[in-house]
Structure 1
Amino acid sequence: MCTLEKRGNIYLLTLTGSGEHRFNPSLLSSLRATLSSLLSSSHAPNAALITCAEGKFFSNGFDQSWVRSAPPSQHRIISDLLRGLISDYLLLPMPTVCAITGHAAAAGCALVLAHDYVVMREDRGFFYMSELDVGLKFVKYFGVLFNEKIPDNQTRRDVLLRSARLTAREAMDRGIVDRVAQGIEGTIEEAVRLSEEVAVAVSDGSKLAEKRKLMFSETWRHVSAAAGSKL
């Protein structure tokens, strides 16, 4: 599932195991419970959160095996849980850094974009919105999130309408990724460095969360109904 480790003022949230970290109710609920513990507790100034994953995948999106086995009436559960998870990230009273330590695909890309900053492993992995290739429906809050987090029209077109598989360098050139690094440990170390740099300026986390909601007001409008809800 996931673990949370504290390194000084830096929290490290890790998706554990060697699988694809596909989003099903169990994983999403575990992630939301972990973030809930951060949302409900007090933190020292200059704290930050890093999200990373073990294995060759950061996240390969929604768990289609779960979807195929669940009754149709329950299919919306995982989308709503992810919507709530995105709202949790927007509400966190600290900077957030996503360390893409492996492939990020489909809904995994939405989780990446829920963060303030992104570091991506250069020697393995793609940023890849696969919905068009596999014929899956694109949920509305994904579109809003991508519109606000990827403002360049050409990049957004290539990611969403051409299902371009972006390497770390390409994603950085397109403004999706802030920094690149080598290997899993190197990517996490770079994420720690970036976290320490950006956290220095944050003395009041509640004000940071309010600024996020203003900066990404349309995304917040579409996900805020799920804030605090565990479904």
Structure 2
Amino acid sequence: MGFCEFTVKDGIFVLTLDSGDGGHNYLTLQSMADLKQKLEEIRRKARPWNKGLITTCSGGAFCHGVDYGALSQPMVDELSHRMAEVLRLLFEMPFPTAAAVTGDVKSSMALALVMAHDDTATLKETMFEMPEVRDGLGNLPPYVGALLRDKVSFPLVRSSLLLCSEAMNGSKMAYWEFCEGIRDDNEAVMKEAVHIVEVRIGKVRDGRDYITTRKSFFPESWRAVSQFLGDHN
């Protein structure tokens, strides 16, 4: 298995990020290429009868993100650009998307990957953190702040994550209305993600209209990603 693989069950695409034998899934040029390729393939295979996309993980980390301390700034910049391409693909999925967060989210880019989905179900004990902020290792991509402003209504949680790098578990993130629901085990998180896609968001009649509506719901995020990539749409 590469960085990620997907299956289709009951009309729902399930994209699984693999932590590998060492329990780590840092973002690299290869892993970002794998992620983009799989999302492009899902987009090509999408049909009107498909219900949505759920992104989850196979190990203790949803995504470690970028190892800022081990990479040069040009490499970090390149990975930030590639993540923006992934976010754009998620924004352009013609059906509902949900992140089933059953492992830790350990950097700003990993958090951006979660937030680019329409909604989130998370394990109660899952930790969300941005250690690069705490350690002063680099500037955050501008789309991270935009996604937080669009997705999190409380300024306190945004400042705690962005300015203080406070680590928060799933229970606290739910309190701040970051996610749709928290659950005690992985199976329950996946069931909640399926419920989000099938029931809470429901059937999409026109994928193009859904994409347009999604972008209108999260205008700052879409604008930040587009500008970062040099787009004009």
d(CA) in 2 for partners of 1:42, 1:201: 14
SS of alignment partner, residue 6 of structure 1: strand
Aligned CA RMSD, in angstroms, stands at 2.0
Q: Distance in 2 between matches of 1:180 and 1:138?
A: 27
Map residues 7-22 of structure 1 onto 2, 5 A cutoff.
7-18=9-20, 19-22=23-26
Q: Are 1:141 and 2:143 matched, yes or no?
A: yes
Deviations 1:35-78 (A, max 9, x none): 1112233413451100001111111111347625xxx5444211
Residue among 52, 55, 75 paired with 1:51: 55
TM-score scaled by length of structure 1:
0.89
Q: Report the residue type matching 1:138 in the other structure.
A: L
Provide the identity percentage.
Answer: 26
Render the CA deviation track for 1:207-231: whole Å, top value 9, x for unaligned.
1111111222222122126499xxx
Q: Is 90-99 or 37-46 further displaced after alignment?
A: 37-46
**Which one of the candidate residues 176, 179, 183 is aligned to 1:177?**
179
Instruction: Give aligned pairs, total.
Output: 224
Unaligned runs of 5+ in 1: none
Contact 2:60 2:102 in 1 (8 A): yes
Which residues of structure 2 form unaligned runs of 5+?
A: none
Deviation digits for residues 136-195 of structure 1 (CA, Å, limit 9, x no counterpart): 322212122211112321121122122222111111110101111122223222212222
CA distance in 1, matches of 2:61, 2:110: 9
CA separation of 1:13 and 1:144: change in aligned 2, threshold 3 A? same
Partner-residue secondary structure (3-state), 1:5: strand
Higher relative contact order (CA 8 A, sep 6+): 1
Structure 1 contact 46–199 (Cα < 8 Å) conserved: no
Pairing 1:90-105 to 2, within 5 Å after superposition: 90-105=91-106
Which amino acid in structure 2 is aligned with residue 173 of structure 1?
Y
Seen in structure 2, the aligned counterparts of structure 1 residues 165 and 66 have a Cα distance that, compared at 3 Å, is closer
Following superposition of structure 1 onto structure 2, how do residues 133-212 of structure 1 map, counting pairs within 5 Å? 133-136=134-137, 137-212=139-214
Which residue in 2 is equivalent to 1:78?
79
Q: d(CA) in 1 for partners of 2:129 and 2:215? A: 26
1-side partners of 2:230 and 2:142: how far apart? 17
Q: Structure 1 segments of 4 or more deviating over 6 A?
A: none
Residue of structure 2 in register with 1:26 after alignment: 30
CA distance in 2 between partners of 1:42 and 1:2 (Å): 18
Q: Tell me, yes or no, if the aligned pair for 1:120 and 1:180 is still in contact at 8 Å.
A: yes
